[in-house]
Chain A
Amino acid sequence: DIQMTQSPSSLSASVGDRVAITCRTSQGISNSLAWYQQKPGKAPKLLLYAASRLESGVPSRFSGSGSGTDYTLTITSLQPEDFATYYCQQYYSPPLTFGQGTKVEIK
């Protein structure tokens, strides 16, 4: 199974800040990585897929980068509605695996 290491597990930031969340996989996954946002009591929402492709309707302040085993989700100019938990997920090979999550809190 492909192991996912997501960091940090939580962070505090202010509105307007630039935030970066990283996801490291135990083997190369050829950009087969998705990012989700989840708010309390709600289902996850797809943000990006193929490591860097923005899902339709998602604001352009969200971006993804990386290759091989190291991937990054970046949020430029954090907005109040962005405070949530973020998960990475690999789909290179089953079983699909998720990162542990990063909770983005208001400073």
Chain B
Amino acid sequence: QVQLVESGGGVVQPGGSLRLSCAASGFTFSNYGIHWVRQAPGEGLEWVAFVHYSGTKYYADSVKGRFTISRDNSKNTLWLQMNSLRPEDTAVYYCAKDRQQLAPFYSDYWGQGTLVTVSS
């Protein structure tokens, strides 16, 4: 069955960096685009970034220039490098598989999420 397992969350000071990972299994990872979506405590869902099967990337304006999404199809792994972190980046970060390969569409499978807390 499809599984997405996020890791790498934790507490970081404002201005710091963190790298999240998402390990995928149960499907042909190289055939699908993958998203990062976040949810601040008690708030709604916010799309963060998407990388399609061969590497083209899309970002939300709120993270553009600070976050980098990447993938390694040989390792079935997705990453989110987060730099210059701000308190408003505090959230649970989900990786989510897209139904398609190329343009970002909708997500049919989600991981359980990893919590990132930006605080001094």
Seen from chain A, the residues whose Cβ lies within 8 Å of a Cβ on chain B are 1, 32, 34, 36, 38, 43-46, 49, 55, 87, 89, 91, 94-101
Q: Cβ of B27 < 8 Å from any Cβ of A?
A: no
Closest residue on chain B to residue A87 by CB atoms:
B45
A-B contact pairs, 9 of them (CB 8 A): A34-B106, A36-B45, A43-B112, A44-B110, A49-B99, A95-B61, A96-B104, A98-B45, A101-B45
Seen from chain B, the residues whose Cβ lies within 8 Å of a Cβ on chain A are 35, 37, 44-47, 50, 58-61, 94, 96, 99, 103-108, 110-113
Select A46's contact among B45, B59, B107, B113, beta carbons within 8 Å. B107
| 7 nearest A-B pairs in the assembled complex, by CB-CB distance | A34-B106, A43-B110, A96-B47, A98-B45, A101-B44, A94-B58, A91-B105
A94 to B94, CA, bound (A): 18
Select B61's contact among A1, A36, A100, beta carbons within 8 Å. A1
A49 to B44, CA, bound (A): 19
